[in-house]
């Protein structure tokens, strides 16, 4: 499979589908980023501290720069919101809170609160309301606890940490000055005035990216085990989810983008697509040869070419081709 062209791989995936709709997919990639500061621990005096995390490196544990899955998912939600607002599609509704970026989402929506008063303690009906009212809450998940409830809408998309590959990532700290001509070194306490010196990190290297998307759970109630939305609405939401997922990697969001917009220099890896009950396989890009491992796992029990297909990509653009093609496997009308 490694020697196949992308066009051949896409044809094989279409054959594997055998007319079935795409159930889910996973992405494992090594992404190259330079001079970013997307995720930081906080500040110490006038120095900003880059996020660091421990990862397994052979027989040892190494500390590397990282971006949390929370930051990645926040970017996914922002992308999904922008797509929904631009589309103006009834299949992609937004509650008022999600429309303006309120992190409380439907939980602070007055119309939703009113609807809950008529539902009672039936969690399945609560999830139905969540799914119908907002595409962000449908895809990104929400826990409804008001009124002594415990009604979970589980996220259909999952992100791991974006992890620097040991020995392939570096973080430097750089001094900056806010130059105020004619100003003294004196600053009114807490006023952010005067001539300040501060230090910011910048990280560069190869990063391991993993994500999964359960397309068959979009518009579906896990509690009642029934679809809440019609097939066409679910397809439109799935298409938006695939585009938002691509933007999350191709145009990463996070902190310090105003002056440290990340240089995205490439991404290589594999997308595993599933057309049946077998979940798409995933293997960490922290390991060399992770694409081969994904293929070997997919072949177990004869699933590769049956329920699963593996598509390798060598560039960010090729990943876009794969995910764009996947929109054609969502079913008729996608």
Q: What is the pLDDT of residue 187?
A: 54
Mapped onto helix, strand or coil, the DSSP state of residue 148 is coil
User: Of the ranges 45-54, 175-184, 187-196, which is most confident?
Assistant: 45-54
Q: What is the pLDDT of residue 120?
A: 81
Residue 294 confidence class, pLDDT cut points 50, 70, 90: very high
What is the rounded distance in angstroms from the CA atom of residue 96 to the CA atom of residue 184? Answer: 47
Contact between residue 273 and residue 13 where contact means Cβ atoms under 8 Å apart: yes
Taking the C-alpha atoms of 201, 202, 204 and 209 in order, what is their torsion angle to the nearest 10 degrees? 70
Q: pTM for this one?
A: 0.92
What is the rounded distance in angstroms from the CA atom of residue 141 to the CA atom of residue 105? Answer: 10
* List of residues 6+ apart from 317 with CB closer than 8 A: none
Contact between residue 249 and residue 267 where contact means Cβ atoms under 8 Å apart: yes
Q: What is the pLDDT of residue 269?
A: 98
State pLDDT tens for residues 216-266. 999 999 999 999 999 999 999 999 999 999 999 999 999 889 888 999 999
Exposed (0-12), middle (13-18) or buried (19+): which is 69, by Cβ within 10 Å? middle
Query: Which residues sit opposite 36 in a β-bridge?
Result: 203
Q: Where are the domains of the chain?
A: 6-42+65-162+205-329
Phi and psi dihedrals of 112, rounded to 5? Answer: -70, -40
Q: What is the pLDDT of residue 246?
A: 98
Indicate the pairing of strand 157-159 with strand 220-221.
unpaired
pLDDT at 183 over 70: no
Taking the C-alpha atoms of 217, 221, 223 and 224 in order, what is their torsion angle to the nearest 10 degrees? -120
Q: Please name the residue that has the structure tokens 């995720």.
A: 39
DSSP 8-state symbol, 276: S
What tokens does 122 get? Answer: 């039936």
* List of residues 6+ apart from 268 with CB closer than 8 A: 29, 30, 313, 314, 315
Q: Please name the residue that has the structure tokens 């560069």.
A: 204
Q: What is the pLDDT of residue 334?
A: 43
Q: What is the pLDDT of residue 184?
A: 59
* List of residues 6+ apart from 174 with CB closer than 8 A: 199, 200, 201, 202
Among 43-47, 96-100, 162-166, the minimum mean pLDDT is found in 43-47
Q: What is the pLDDT of residue 194?
A: 62
What tokens does 149 get? Answer: 């409830």
Give the closest residue to 235 by CA, choosing from 334, 322, 157, 139: 334
What is the rounded distance in angstroms from the CA atom of residue 53 to the CA atom of residue 127? Answer: 35
Q: Please name the residue that has the structure tokens 């090729």.
A: 318
Q: Please name the residue that has the structure tokens 């029934």.
A: 226
State pLDDT tens for residues 56-85. 999 999 999 999 999 999 999 999 999 999
Quote the crossing angle between the two packed helices 231-250 and 69-87, to the nearest 10°.
Answer: 130
- Which helix (H) or strand (E) covers residue 27, if one does? strand 24-36
CA 206 to centroid of chain Cα atoms: 18
């Amino acid at each position: 499979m490694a020697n196949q062209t992308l066009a051949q791989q896409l044809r094989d995936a279409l054959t594997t589908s055998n007319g079935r709709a795409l159930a889910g997919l996973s992405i494992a990639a090594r992404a190259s980023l330079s001079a970013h500061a997307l995720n930081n621990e906080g500040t110490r005096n006038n120095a900003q501290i880059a996020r660091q995390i421990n990862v397994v490196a052979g027989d040892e544990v190494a500390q590397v720069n990282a971006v949390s899955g929370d930051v990645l998912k926040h970017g996914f939600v922002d992308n999904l919101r922008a797509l929904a607002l631009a589309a103006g599609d009834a299949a992609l509704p937004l509650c008022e809170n999600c429309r303006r970026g309120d992190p409380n989402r439907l939980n602070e929506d007055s119309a939703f609160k009113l609807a809950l008063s008529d539902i009672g303690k039936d969690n399945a009906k609560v999830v139905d309301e969540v799914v119908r009212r907002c595409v962000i809450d449908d895809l990104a998940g929400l826990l409804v606890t008001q009124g002594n409830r415990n009604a979970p809408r589980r996220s259909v998309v999952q992100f791991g940490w974006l992890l620097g590959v040991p020995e392939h990532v570096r973080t430097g700290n750089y001094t900056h000055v806010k130059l105020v001509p004619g100003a003294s070194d004196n600053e009114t306490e807490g006023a952010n005035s005067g001539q300040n010196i501060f230090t910011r990190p910048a990280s560069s290297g190869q990063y391991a990216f993993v994500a999964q998307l359960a397309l068959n759970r979009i518009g579906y109630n896990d509690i009642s085990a029934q679809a809440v939305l019609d097939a066409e609405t679910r397809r439109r939401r799935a298409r938006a989810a695939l585009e938002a997922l691509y933007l999350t990697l191709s145009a990463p969001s996070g902190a310090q983008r105003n002056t440290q917009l990340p240089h995205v220099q490439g991404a290589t890896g594999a997308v595993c697509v599933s057309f049946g009950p077998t979940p798409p396989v995933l293997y960490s890009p922290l390991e060399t040869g992770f694409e081969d491992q994904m293929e070997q796992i997919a072949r177990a029990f004869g699933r590769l070419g049956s329920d699963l297909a593996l598509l390798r990509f060598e560039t960010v653009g090729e990943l876009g081709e794969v995910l764009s093609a996947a929109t054609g496997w969502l079913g008729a009308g996608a």
